[in-house]
Amino acid sequence: MAQKLSYVLITPYSLMKSRAGGIIARLLSGTELELAGAQVFAPTAEFAQAQASSIRRELWESEPFGVKLFSDYIRENFIPLDDGTNARMMILLFRGENVSRKLLQAVGELLPSARTRQSAIIGETIRDIYGDLVFNRDGSVDYFEPAVIMPFDDESALSTLEHIADFLEKAPNIVENTAGRNEEKTERTIVLVRPRDWRKPTAMPGNLSDMISRTGLRLVGCKIHGMNVKEALELYAPMKEKLRGLLAEEAAEEAEKVLNEHFGFSMGEGCRTVLRDVVGVPYADEQYKKIIQFMSGCHVDALPANWESLPRREKCLVLVFEGENAVSRIRDLLGSAEQVPCGREGETLMVGEVQYSESEEDFRRASTILRINENSVSEIIRAYLAGHRESEQSE
């Protein structure tokens, strides 16, 4: 069956209430779909009008009540705030077979076709948990918050993806002028998440984002980034010496114990220094190489001659958070990057699964390497639409 592309829009209210992480976690762990792209952006009145109009065109005749509910909500909420600051939204692109049906199963009922919907809520879907639909006794709607917006089916996705690509192509990847921002006190930090295996359902990226958002920091940017070897070597260059300082002495101590036990006598003075050079440093360097392999999919010792042009094999989620004392808040939550967690028996020591920038200089350096001002969401959409048109023409 053909791979198709669809999307989920996380509403400004869900981002403001720090619910995006929980939504992402449910979508990643419950759909078995590929997360192909992600972007945080500031919606405009023009974007809202296009999105609302597409809903009305698709389903007005079959679902007039629900369509009006959604289109009115979009026009009211997908716009800048009353004080002139930008609202924040997130788009998640998913790729796979039966993509819209699988997303619908995780998101829940698209349209409130029955006004007694409250009696059917059992807490399984995203809308059950994060959305609200409250009716007055006369049957009118008192309050509506859908948590997310998504196409009704694959055909609806096709009809809306083009205007989304047009908008995102010109939209900055980092949302500026956010509510509550204090220019003098606001810091930004990059959090880099690389799950051990994107191919398996995982809630980890969403859960991590959720944890950070609960500290009061705002998610103002994100992207799916395929890291190549060159970028990994550049990004993690400072880690090489850090790992030597953290691991070489410990490895030398362990090696000395093993030798003492094996030969039955205590090695002489100066043995630890020698073991640090011949065992400890190589051990630390191997852990550094495994970080590069984990992030890029290539081991440094097995690079071909054309390694700089190798395709991007692995992908990570790049998150940009801002707020007062952003770095210290994340450090309190995740621990210092100087700390190296011990792997369980039989596991490779790994410090690259979650990383964050620990200073303004570190943020600028990582921003350049990871190109945080760029996003490929609009390109992914255009490539998919072009392929779909070619397929239709060949049939």
* Confidence at residue 320, expressed as pLDDT on a 0 to 100 scale: 96
The predicted-structure confidence for 227-258, as pLDDT tens digits, reads as follows: 888 899 999 998 899 899 989 999 988 888 88
Which segments in the chain show pLDDT lower than 50? Answer: 113-117, 119, 338-351
| Predicted local distance difference test score (pLDDT) of residue 339 | 46
In the chain, list all ranges with CATH 3.30.70.141.
4-185+373-394
Residue 99's pLDDT is 93
The b-or-e profile of 81-117 (16+ CB within 10 A means b, else e) is eeeebbbbbbbbbbbbeebbebbbebbbbbbbeeeeb
The predicted-structure confidence for 138-151, as pLDDT tens digits, reads as follows 888 899 999 999 98
Give the CATH number of domain 4-185+373-394: 3.30.70.141
- 8 Å CB contact between 52 and 29: no
Please tell me the predicted confidence (pLDDT) of residue 197: 65
Measured distance CA(299)–CA(289) in Å, rounded? 6
Distance CA 363, CA 189 (A): 6
Please identify which residue in the block is written with the tokens 């006004």: 115
Q: What is the pTM of this model?
A: 0.88
pLDDT at residue 311, as a whole number: 67
pLDDT computed for residue 134 by the predictor:
86
